[in-house]
Chain A
Amino acid sequence: MSKKLFIKFLDVIPTAIGISLIAFLLIRLIPGDPVMLLLGERGSDPIVYEKMKVSLGLDLPWYEQYWSFITKAFSGDFGTSIISKNSVWEEFKTLFPATLELGIVALFFALTIGIPLGIVAAIKRNSFLDYLFMTGSLVGYSMPIFWWGLILIIVFSVNLGLTPVSGRISVLYDIEPLTGFMLIDSLQKEVIEEEGFSAFISALKHLILPSIAMGTIPLAVIARMTRSSLLEVLKEDYIRTAKSKGLSPFYVICKHALRNALVPITTVIGLMFGSIITGAILTETIFSWPGIGKWILDAVNGRDYPVIQGGVLFIGFIVVTINLTVDILYSIINPKMR
């Protein structure tokens, strides 16, 4: 196992270099002069222009530029946003928890509904419920979530008035960001003393629609995966043995079958992170959720290249790290891999 993992680990290095190269080249391949793009009208002053060029390191050969880009990145310097003038890393750090919180809640929603649906579909194979759930999951899988989000808003916010349309918490509450997770921060002692649980409930209400929108595709994938991997396991001899011992079907499913069926599902969940980020970009745009998805899209529309560069770099690395973690976890859970 350790040798295999070591090779996996070595495999990550060229991928990481590739991602950093893409992020590095991004700012240099933009049509037009990057210095002029960064400076705007002020670039017409040749002194300012030269100063900017030197400070960006654009007068050096490309491999030296790349090297300084990498060394700066390791010390936490990813440049500054053209629009807000803040450090890209600082902006990322404050916005990432919002995306993470939304992602975790969305995944929780997908798991708590998707796994039971998959189990029922597998046990009642070829029944009406099976067809209903699997058709439903195919519809969920085909869902354009940018439309789904709008429909949720039309139904639940506009027509029924149950949930808020945008943001993370009502503007009435001024929450000190402690962890960056609104659900946790709204439970701080001072907040509860002042407002009771109303701040927490407001944060929860703001989370419901975006997490349904974002969790729908993962839910569909999880339900289908649970069904097919449970069907696979139910064919095994040890299930027949357990049944013939006279154990109740419920016990056999929960204790014997599910444990093995869930192994491939953990991998899928890990690999779904990419599609969750895609979901984040779309969901955050629709619900004005202040996370990194909206941050990157705003940067694209505002031509804020350092932010795009940083975003590409961070997300690429997060995905690579998660994939590696999933590989390691998988070989720990699944004894066959050892």
Chain B
Amino acid sequence: MKTNQSEEVTIDNYKPSFLKKVTQHKGASIGLFIILFFLITALFAPFFVNHDPGTIYENSLKVPPVWAAEGQTSFFLGTDDLGRDILSRLIYGSRISIFIGFFVVILSLTLGTLLGLISGYFGGTIDRVIMRVIDIIMSFPSILLAIVVVTLLGPGIKNAVFAVSIVSIPGFTRIVRSTVLVEKEKEYKAASEAFGASPFRTLFLEIFPNCLAPLIVQGSLSFSDAILNAAALSFLGLGAQPPIAEWGIMLSDAKPFIESAPWMATSPGVCILLLVLGFNLFGDGLRDILDPKLER
């Protein structure tokens, strides 16, 4: 096999691949590592646990973690007040959090992008109406808005996803709109229209690809917000409902026992913090990589 192509690469025209840039960026690679770690535990949860997350061991209530004096090796991070294995519940909990984050980002990204594209491209009255709605959504603190939605629809995972999605829409709409406003002044838009392309063709095939970079960054950052908000809703009793193994529920279960079993409260929070931190690091890193104008 000839390797002509690789010989042509000189220092001047060498452009590292996207993946290479990510692995060279310290923050982004740490973030990606954390995300992959939780993704793997979520996907292969049954292979990592030695207990079913719902099984109640009546003889092993509130067993401390393995490094404590009374710890048992079979319950690595201890058990909760009902005698359920905390590590198994954490691993299964990563499924719920990643699932919620994923659906929230898909939903709010699709809706938010559409609104932003229309608003930025067409301007005028439709722009004003859309931006007013976005302003109204933004004038509610995220948890309060989610509470309103849950009040109307009732608590549960599906409704929590819906509530948190609404909260995340404005971020996408604003970022897409501002990109479109810049891009539509450029000449390629006029050229596309001069060729007789319909506004929708110009908008989706010519302008939209330029919004992708900021969208990916925003997607990663709203993934972290979604996980945080969904866990908060569950903690408040408005999101996922017990006995599902979910990090926010585990924390609210732990609250009455912070004196007798503090380990019940520590590990679920560490998981939330790590996963949220992972997405924030990854998003910040992507912003550095995709937008060279921003100097750190």
Contact = CB atoms under 8 A, between A and B. Distances in A.
B232 A282 contact: yes
B151 interface: yes
Interface stretch (B37-45, B103-111, B198-206, B257-265): B257-265
A138 B144 contact: no
Given A274-B141, A278-B142, A301-B237, A138 B280 contact: yes
B158 interface: no
A147 B268 contact: yes
Contacts of A311: 144
Contacts of A143: 273
A281 B281 CA distance: 27
Given A26-B148, A277-B144, A300-B150, A142 B224 contact: yes
B246 to A, nearest CB: 13
Contact of B265 (A31, A139, A154, A276): A154
Given A18-B132, A30-B152, A146 B143 contact: no
B139 A19 contact: yes
A158 B154 CA distance: 35
A319 B140 contact: yes
Given A142-B224, A146-B235, A150-B258, A29 B135 contact: no
B254 interface: yes
Contact of A158 (B133, B136, B262, B277): B262
Nearest to B254: A150
Contacts of B273: 139, 142-144, 147
A150 B254 CA distance: 9
A151 interface: yes
Interface in B238-296: 238, 248, 251, 254-255, 258-259, 262, 265-266, 268-269, 272-273, 276-277, 280-281, 284
A144 B228 contact: yes
- Residue from A147, A277, A282 having most chain B Cβ neighbours under 10 A: A147
Contacts of B36: none
Contacts of A316: 139-140
Interface of A is mostly: helix
A285 interface: yes
Contacts of A285: 236
Contact of A151 (B143, B232, B248, B265): B265
Nearest to B134: A15
A281 B143 contact: yes
B144 A315 contact: yes
B89 to A, nearest CB: 15
B265 A15 contact: no
Contacts of A219: none
B231 interface: yes
A31 B144 contact: no
Interface string B96-139: 00000000000000000000000000000000000011011011
B139 A296 contact: no
Contacts of A277: 141, 143-144
A245 to B, nearest CB: 27
B255 A300 contact: no
Nearest to A320: B139
A180 B160 CA distance: 35
Contact of A22 (B148, B224, B284): B148
Interface in A267-295: 274-278, 281-282, 285-286
Interface string A11-22: 100110011001
A322 to B, nearest CB: 9
B207 interface: no
B180 interface: no
A297 interface: yes
Given A26-B148, A281-B147, A286-B255, 8 more contacts: A19-B136, A142-B224, A146-B231, A148-B269, A158-B259, A278-B143, A285-B236, A308-B151
28 contacts: A14-B132, A15-B135, A18-B132, A19-B136, A22-B148, A30-B152, A31-B154, A142-B224, A142-B277, A144-B251, A146-B232, A147-B265, A147-B269, A147-B272, A150-B251, A151-B265, A151-B266, A274-B141, A275-B142, A277-B143, A278-B141, A278-B143, A278-B144, A296-B144, A297-B147, A300-B151, A308-B147, A319-B141
* In the A-B complex, the 5 residue pairs with the closest CB atoms: A147-B269, A18-B136, A277-B141, A142-B276, A142-B277
